[in-house]
Amino acid sequence: MNKLLKDTSPAQSLEPIFAGIQAIGLSRYPLLAVFFSGNKLPGDCVPMARTPMPFTDFLFDKSFPKHLSAALHENESIHDGAVLFGRVDSHDLYRCSGWSFRIVAKHQPSTAEANRGSAYNSAISLSGAPRIDCVCLFTESDFEVFVAGKSFRKSG
């Protein structure tokens, strides 16, 4: 992801960015970040109305915690829903496509842990959908990266 998923451990390669999120101390958890490829938003992600809508179109990189903090300061309700990062194809960089999306994934994963809650189930299901590159689930103490219905967990 912007050359961040460079090995078999996506959680480890994203650790510096999500450590930055942990450092700012979100007021609400969990946080879902969805990464997709293509010209259109994924059909399994439905935008929720937010006023004001925080700034988008920034690159996903180590500055993401700063953008997240500013967005939450501008409108705390964006915590409710996923933030989307899109790119046209694998040669492009991910850019913020929007805040506060509802996930209505239709994909059924072959394996999922029991009793993990709706954010986990949304993330693992959505990660198997077409054009979804990965989904990140960030909680107060750890984060997971889901790729094609598989979890890569990094405990804090």
CA 35, CA 37: separation in Å to the nearest integer? Answer: 7
The DSSP code for 44 is T
pLDDT of residue 155: 55
Residue 145 has phi, psi (to 5 degrees) of -115, 130
pLDDT of residue 11: 53
CA 131, CA 23: separation in Å to the nearest integer? Answer: 31
Enter the pTM of the model.
Answer: 0.88
Collapsing DSSP to helix, strand or coil, 82 comes out as strand
pLDDT of residue 19: 80
Residue 32 has phi, psi (to 5 degrees) of -110, 135
Largest separation between any pair of C-alpha atoms in the chain: 39
Pair 34, 83: CB distance under 8 Å = yes
Q: Name the residue among 85, 77, 54 with its Cα closest to residue 67.
A: 54
Per-residue pLDDT of the chain (156 residues; tens, 9 = 90+): 445 554 434 555 677 887 888 887 776 778 999 999 999 999 999 999 999 999 999 999 989 999 999 999 999 998 889 999 999 998 899 999 999 999 999 888 877 788 888 899 999 999 999 999 999 998 877 888 999 999 887 655
Fold of 10-155: YojJ-like (1 (3.40.1700)
Which pair of tokens denotes residue 71? Answer: 């967005």
pLDDT of residue 8: 39
Q: Which residues of 59-79 are buried (b: 16+ CB within 10 A; e: fewer)?
A: ebeeebbebbbebbeeeeebb
Collapsing DSSP to helix, strand or coil, 67 comes out as helix
Cβ-count burial of 35 within 10 angstroms (0-12 exposed, 13-18 middle, 19+ buried)?
buried
